[in-house]
Structure 1
Amino acid sequence: MHILILGAAGMVGRKLLARLVKDGSLGGETISRLTLHDVVPPEAPPGTAIPVSLSASDFSDPGEAERLVAGRPDVIFHLAAIVSGEAEADFDKGYRINLDGTRRLYDAVRAIGEGYKPRFVFTSSVAVFGAPMPEPIPDEYLTAPLTSYGTQKAIGELLLSDYSRRGIFDGVGIRLPTICVRPGKPNKAASGFFSGIIREPLAGQEAVLPVSDQVRHWHASPRSAVGFLIHAATIDTKRLGDRRNLTMPGVGATVAEQIEALRRAAGDAAVARIRREPDPTIERIVAGWPRTFDARRALELGFQAEPDFDAIVRAHIEDELDGKVPA
């Protein structure tokens, strides 16, 4: 099995790669080749016997998508995107990467023609929903995003459904919750503070909280995100019918509940490292995001996430801090 990962240098991409290399197979088939792509050079996993091809480019440039799929990968994980805050700040870049690049990739698969029908896993986002919204948001609720990023992802979902209906590829779109706690350095996502107020205090550093403690949001750990991707790549898509895009399960938690989970894990000293500094731009963006979901369909199809935010904090401590809570 040949697997292509776009966005392989990103946090989720790296963790997905590590899982695939560890397992050595996907859906019962041995992985025979990996193609890793990102806008910055991805790194080959150390010590793997699986042949790995590395590529760095802007996949939205003419000809790049065609080059990436020329090897006819059996499974394509499309994780590459401009994140929410950057897509809102740079209109042209957001649409060029998140929409035009995705369309070029879809069409590159189509251009190969009959006899080639890969499994295509597209990472969408809960940002495809916009206020006003019920609580929880059911599977049948309309997508009406209030950000450019959400709009770009919603269009990608529609195209994925149509290209799957036409038999061009076998697509599954997964609407990821905000992935928390993200390890490493902060990115330009408007949602980055959700991870920052846990990650930085656990590392003995100050974190800035730009929104109210009462803001509620939908979360899942990086560990769960990898599980979503693996399951989407192996699920029997006949069970999906024509509804190819799914809201992933997660944990609905307020910022205050996040902070209390941090307190239970690491004590008052960690919580004291959170500094409140309101940011009207972030507050405006977050105010239009969904808060809780009834992800019943995904659960029934076997997708799994953490039961509560304490479990998300524990996953970060286990996976990134060797299971040890710093003093």
Structure 2
Amino acid sequence: MTSSSCIVIVGAGVLGLCTAFELNRRGRSVVVIDPGEANASAVAAGMIAPAMEAAIDDASAERAALFRASRDLWPDFAQAAGITLARRPAEWRGGDAGGIAARMRALGFEARMNGDRVVTDEDYQVDPGLALAAMKAVLGDAVVTGRVEAVARVGDSWRVQTDRAELLTDAVVLATGAERAVSGLPRAVRQRVEAIQPIRGQIGSTTQALAAHVVRGPGAYVAPMGTGVVVGATMEPGRRDTAPDAAAGERLVQAAWWVLGRTPEPLEIEWRAGVRGATADGLPLAGAAVGGPGLFMALAPRRNGWLLGPVVGQVVADAIEGRAASPHARALDPGRF
């Protein structure tokens, strides 16, 4: 198969699919190359949590504004994509609750104390598996299974060689997470991809309904998912292995029981691990790639891929279409380093 009119998006995690969905609803033709294996976006709790994330990381006012702006895009985005958006309280228990509440309020987020706990209504959640499936359903045949083996500049276009087909396109979006650089990328682009740090994250799921809303605390969180909950999550820089670690799982479970304030009891938990990418400042690379005309980036969101998906999609789509940059494009500019 050869195409010269479609925008090729390499990767089918949350940032790749959000970008594809945004372009699709602007009337642009896209092809998403999906490796067809579980990615870090699926191994997640689906938190869209600007208030908690900003407070936990002691974020700047500018970063908090970016988090809030992307969260505010979610209701319309979810409705258009057929994604169920859970809007329920999120809670922080123990470990400097007063400081967490103060930082939320200082950044303009609503927060209230409930005894020694902090509660906010600013954070949302999606089911990652269902949300990825919903976006793929809307995109339909535009999502194709394959693995990109190489890219090459051909005149003013790019040739994308997969293990199943060859495509010719004017625009390629690299949405490859923490994967190694694709062969054939210009040196400047390859260097930026290779500078992305892999971070392994382990999360567990159980059918036991331990919490009706997201509960966070030092060392763990418990979040509703399906008929049960997920317990997470580790952040292990430099690791690319995805085999579950029993010791790490036990530490998460013990921390989760402490956060919940409950006596430990036997749990049947299915553990999974994924590898996400992170930049030096913790924000994704989104926009035109430096040193590669016709190349764009939508990758490396650290732990905020689900939160930042819609704003990344808009920033990348604007860059491809040559529109005026959004107010948050500079913060995500791949050339900022």
TM, length-normalised to structure 2 = 0.28
Does 1 or 2 have the higher relative contact order (CA < 8 Å, sep 6+)?
2
Which has the larger helix fraction? Answer: 1
TM, length-normalised to structure 1 = 0.29
Which has the larger strand fraction? Answer: 2
